[in-house]
Amino acid sequence: DLRETSFGTYHNKKKADLGPEWPKLKQNPTYVFPEGESLLQTQTRAVHFIKNLEKKHQKQNILLITHAALIRS
C-alpha cells in the first residue's frame, strides 16, 4: 500500500532530539527504524501495491498520490 514510511518511535520527534546520526540513518535504505520499517521495506510494499494495481487495471489510466518519503524510498 502507499502509506508513508513508518518511522516507529521516531514518529513526531524533532530532528534535534534524534541526535547527529539522524541524517545518516535516513539515507540508509536498509536501516529499520525502531518499531517501524526501513526505506527498502517501504519501497517493496509500494512496488508490490503498484504492480498489483497495474495488473487489475490494464490499459486504464491510474493516478497515484503520495508523499515525498514514499517517492524517495
* H runs (alpha helix) in 1-73: 15-18, 22-27, 39-56, 68-72
* pLDDT confidence of residue 17: 86
Give the pLDDT confidence of 23-47 residue by residue, as tens digits. 888 789 999 999 999 999 999 999 9
Query: What does the alpha-carbon distance between residue 52 and residue 60 come to, in Å, rounded to a whole number?
Result: 13
What is the pTM assigned to this prediction? 0.79
